[in-house]
Amino acid sequence: DAGVTQSPTHLIKTRGQQVTLRCSPISGHKSVSWYQQVLGQGPQFIFQYYEKEERGRGNFPDRFSARQFPNYSSELNVNALLLGDSALYLCASSTGLAITYNEQFFGPGTRLTVL
Amino acid sequence: RKEVEQDPGPFNVPEGATVAFNCTYSNSASQSFFWYRQDCRKEPKLLMSVYSSGNEDGRFTAQLNRASQYISLLIRDSKLSDSATYLCVVTLPGDGTASKLTFGTGTRLQVTL
> Looking at chain B, which residue has its C-alpha nearest residue A43?
B103
Residues of B within 8 A of A55 (CB-CB) are 97-98
Residues of A within 8 A of B31 (CB-CB) are 100-101
Contact A89, A44 (CB under 8 A): no
Chain-chain contact of A108 with B106 (C-beta, under 8 angstroms): no
Task: Give pLDDT, residue A82.
Answer: 98
Nearest partner of B104 among B76, B58, B61, B71, judged by Cα: B71
Task: Tell me the nearest-neighbour CA distance from A90 into chain B, angstroms.
Answer: 7
Is the CB of A101 inside 8 Å of chain B's CB atoms?
Answer: yes
Choose the closest CB to B32 out of A35, A42, A101: A101
Q: What percent of chain B has pLDDT over 90?
A: 75
How confident is the model over B77-103, as a mean pLDDT? 86
Mean per-residue pLDDT pooled into runs of 10, chain A (115 residues):
92 98 95 95 94 90 97 97 98 77 88 98
Nearest partner of B50 among B31, B30, B64, B68, judged by Cα: B64
Q: What is the DSSP string of B68-105?
A: TTEEEEEE-S--GGG-EEEEEEEE-TT-TTTT--EE--
Chain-chain contact of B106 with A42 (C-beta, under 8 angstroms): yes
Pick the more confident residue, B112 or B32. B112
Please name the helix (run of DSSP H) or strand (run of DSSP E) that holds residue A47, with its range, or none: strand A44-50
Task: Give pLDDT, residue B96.
Answer: 55
Chain-chain contact of B45 with A48 (C-beta, under 8 angstroms): no
How confident is the model over B10-17, as a mean pLDDT? 96
Is the CB of A103 inside 8 Å of chain B's CB atoms?
Answer: yes
Task: Give pLDDT, residue B95.
Answer: 62
Pick the more confident residue, B97 or B79. B79
Choose the closest CB to B97 out of A90, A99, A109: A99
- Give the count of Cβ contacts less than 8 A between chain A and B: 68
Edge to edge, what strands does the sheet with A74-78 contain? A5-7, A19-24, A74-78, A64-68
Task: Give pLDDT, residue A96.
Answer: 72
Choose the closest CB to A101 out of B91, B103, B104: B91
d(CA B73, CA B50): 9
Task: Give pLDDT, residue A100.
Answer: 58
Pick the more confident residue, A107 or B1. A107
Contact A34, A91 (CB under 8 A): yes
